[in-house]
Amino acid sequence: MTNNALDLGWRLMLLSLIAIGGVDPIVPDIYRFVVDARGWMTERQFADLYALARATPGPNSLLVTLIGWQVAGLLGALIATLALCGLPCLLTFAVSRVWHRFERARWRRVVEEGLAPVAVGLVFGSWYVLVHVADRTWVAGAITATSMLAVWSARLHPLLVLAAGGIAGVIGIV
């Protein structure tokens, strides 16, 4: 059990370093490792954990917590989560330290001004990719448009908007 957890943890730690732009790019690698290479779970179990991670509020990276849990229980969940987040967190912390130290430096303003539009483009781009998966029906598309307008112009609390979407899903009109 513990050996499996460490095996998984080591692999996730390596994968975390190439997870540029979030966890989504490394999901296929995780799949190949835990299903094909190690045989810790079936294709179906992996798909179920993926769906479960998405049904849970919070970061999508919860997927690795669930995979760890499936492989080696609570210890596995803990090791997998920390293995995925550990190095990126340390790196982000180090970078933000340097960043904040040079608060008034001119190069920092250049980097900020240069990165901001790239960031905005990436958010739109990943939204565009995700929306094709999320909105397979006209109703789903209408829910996206309505909820966008609802939080934007009516200033509704976003949780109400999500709840309305959930109700639409439960009564089966999506």
Whether 15 contacts 30, CB under 8 Å: yes
Please state, as a whole number, how many other Cβ atoms lie within 10 Å of the Cβ of residue 103: 8
Task: Tell me if residue 42 falls in helix, strand or coil.
Answer: coil
Q: What is the DSSP letter of 18?
A: T
Report if residue 14 touches another protein, rule: CB under 8 A.
no
Least distance (Å) from another protein to the CB of residue 14?
A: 11
Report if residue 27 touches another protein, rule: CB under 8 A.
no
Report if residue 1 touches another protein, rule: CB under 8 A.
no
Query: Which residues from 154-173 bind another protein, rule CB under 8 A?
Result: 158-159, 161-162, 164-170, 172
**From 1, 37, 47, 123, residue interacting with another protein (rule: CB under 8 A):** 123
Task: Tell me if residue 160 falls in helix, strand or coil.
Answer: helix
Report if residue 91 touches another protein, rule: CB under 8 A.
yes
**From 5, 62, 79, 83, residue interacting with another protein (rule: CB under 8 A):** 62
Distance from C-alpha of 5 to C-alpha of 62, rounded to nearest angstrom: 16
